Chain A
Amino acid sequence: MSVNALGPYEFAPRDAVKNFHGNILVNFCWDRHVLIAAPFAVALSPGMTLRQAITNVIVPSIAFHPDAAKIDWNTVTWEKDHKAWQPDLDKSLAENKVGHKDYLVFITPNLQGLNGAGL
């Protein structure tokens, strides 16, 4: 469907990648750890490796969670577009085909959150 309007109604998307100064916006959600109140949106260089993104941005942002220090990033499983996804942490975001505004979920099945309740 489309907007009901009297005249032509077409606008450029406000968050097109060209507005991000060479970066892409990537969303990261830690599955079943809702003590982290919301997923993160971060602007990253597509040439950065996924491991760099994790180390520089994600690890410090989740550090207050008691499970955070126990994460073995080499065994974390991932979802992208609601489907299982297997990135190579040491390849760049671009090589891993992480696109602008992608939503990545990282899953740590052995870590069950605060009280073991998914928090």
Chain B
Amino acid sequence: MDMKASKKKLGIKERYAHMTRGLGWEPTYQPTEAVFPYDKYEGIKIHDWDKWVDPFRLTMDAYWKYQGEKDRKLYAVIEAFAQNNGHLNITDARYLSAIKLFWQGVSPLENYVVQGFARAGRHFRGEASRVACQMQAVDELRHYQTQTHSISNYNKYYNGFHSQRHMWDRVWYLSVPKSFGEDALTSGPFEFLIAISFSFEYVLTNLLFVPFMSGAAYNGDMSTVTFGFSAQSDESRHMTLGIEAIKFLLEQDPANVPIVQGWIDKWFWRGSKVLALVGMMMDYMLPKRVMSWKEAWEIYAEENGGALFRDLARYGIRPPKGWADACEAKNHISHQVWLLFYEYGGAAAFHTWSPTNEELDWLSAKYPETFDKYYRPRLEFLRDKHARGERVYQGTLPTLCTTCQIPLCFTEPGDPTKISHRETVHKDEKYVFCSDHCQEIFGNEPEKFVQSWLPVNQIYQGNCFKPDVDPTAPDFDPLKAVLEYFNYNLGRDNGEFEGSEDQQNFAKWRGQAVNN
């Protein structure tokens, strides 16, 4: 019997059509509005969902194939890293603090984004957009997993990596990325898309991933470099989805423009605040530095972002409202945040330290207008105090911004010795903010932000102690009780790097690796 000749393979366009729109159907026993209840209430008008096209035209079958291939390579490297004691090849044990910060504060955010895209993938009614969102949800889950598998190797040897999930919901500085993620997750699906796909993945992601991954490469951390590379091709797809999403929304209806503009204003500002943590990492936590935070901001935000907003001007979109203030802050925020963590170093689950003279000189050269005048004297003063045996540990809790939840360590634009603060009274209740833009974000959605779980305020309300703690006991130490509630191993996870267990162990083990 003759075999029937199979039909020619489908071209990429046809396959994309079958594997996206071809998977959709019209509901028969429920009205469409009941099946998709969430894609109208934000006010976004979509007239033709078929105009959404994924430029990669990626379909699920091809997706599994690519990702499987990447995972095979990645896990071979992770295995080799673990077997060959790759952790001893990093430049210096101070570098571990950068990875701790990533693990504690960025990886859980990946997990939130999984949830957000899974929801967007369910609630958009256009099939192509749903497929793209589902794939991004799976991507982000893969990133969370690969980060877990790569970084777990460090947890075998060093402190501060042990209680990520527990700390995420409790620790004061982790409430910054957590509240950012939860604000996005509790938005409508279109706002989520603009928040994460556009404002974060497209405008700001290079400021997160390039510094961390280049930092890892510069500092001999092959494990992190490899998960970074493995994520890189996903990230470029996510950026493309971000730009595709915004153009689609803007082209569908002119009434979408002001709504989208408002979200860009909000999410650019929120993202720039979260990235202050990355700025500190780049300028202070990498023993071998890649570039300054200011340089990274100039390339990835000012140049690339500037070009993007010139391109979007034809739709009637202008740069985000906080743009000028965020650009002015490039000279300050990394220093302000590092000094904050240094002074509150007793309460952070990573180590802080005083920069060496060579590092101070590097910062002076990178920040000629601000460093010597405003930051070097502070760092040297604190270093001298430490040398005299008086390491500064601030024990009184700081005021937090109701919106971004960062302690009020930032100064007025153009006035670097004046702490910036704003207040709003809403329904007889006062709220404090770090800036005009955080205040405005609150003003647009006060009902949302009156719920902010501000760690400092929660501590004073007595909600941050272990259940068996007795605050009336004569020897009750509230700060210690809070750190125990965070699950810190006191004296090992927190505090000064000099003399820390991580510093000592790394020196000892590396010594064994290179000497008899």
| Residues of A near any B CB (own CB < 8 A) | 1-6, 9-16, 19-21, 23, 25, 27, 29, 31-32, 34-43, 57, 60-61, 64, 66, 81-82, 99-103, 113-115, 117-119
Contacts and interface: CB of A to CB of B under 8 A. Distances in A.
29 contacts: A3-B446, A4-B42, A5-B41, A6-B41, A11-B451, A12-B450, A13-B429, A14-B451, A15-B429, A15-B454, A16-B429, A25-B457, A29-B399, A29-B419, A31-B418, A37-B407, A38-B409, A40-B397, A41-B399, A41-B400, A41-B456, A61-B396, A64-B390, A99-B430, A101-B431, A101-B432, A117-B373, A117-B417, A119-B374
A20 B394 contact: no
Nearest to A80: B423
A35 B398 contact: no
Contacts of A115: 377
B505 interface: no
A118 B457 contact: no
A38 B447 contact: no
A34 B416 CA distance: 9
B453 A14 contact: yes
Contacts of A114: 377-378, 381
B258 interface: no
B396 A40 contact: yes
Contact of B423 (A61, A103, A119): A103
Interface in B37-86: 37-38, 41-43
Contacts of A2: 445-447
Given A4-B188, A13-B450, A15-B457, A42 B397 contact: yes
A31 B411 CA distance: 11
Interface in B336-364: 336, 339-340, 342-344
A60 B399 CA distance: 17
Contacts of B429: 13, 15-16, 100-101
Residue of B344, B453, B456 with most chain A CB atoms under a 10 A cut-off: B456
B395 to A, nearest CB: 7
A36 to B, nearest CB: 8
Given A99-B430, A114-B378, A119-B378, A25 B460 contact: yes
B452 interface: yes
Interface of B: 37-38, 41-43, 188, 336, 339-340, 342-344, 373-374, 377-378, 381, 385, 390, 392, 394-400, 407-409, 411, 416-419, 421, 423, 427, 429-432, 443-448, 450-454, 456-457, 460-462
A102 to B, nearest CB: 7
Given A14-B450, A103-B423, A4 B417 contact: no
Contacts of A100: 429-430
Contacts of A64: 385, 390, 392
Contacts of B41: 4-6
B401 to A, nearest CB: 10
A38 B407 contact: yes
Contacts, number: 143
**Pairs A-B, 8 closest by C-beta atoms:** A118-B417, A38-B398, A61-B396, A38-B407, A43-B460, A101-B430, A13-B450, A37-B340
A40 B395 CA distance: 10
A39 B419 CA distance: 8
A78 to B, nearest CB: 14
Nearest to B427: A13
A67 to B, nearest CB: 12
A103 B419 CA distance: 12
A14 B430 contact: no
Contact of A9 (B430, B443, B447): B447
A64 B343 CA distance: 11
Contacts of B451: 11, 13-14
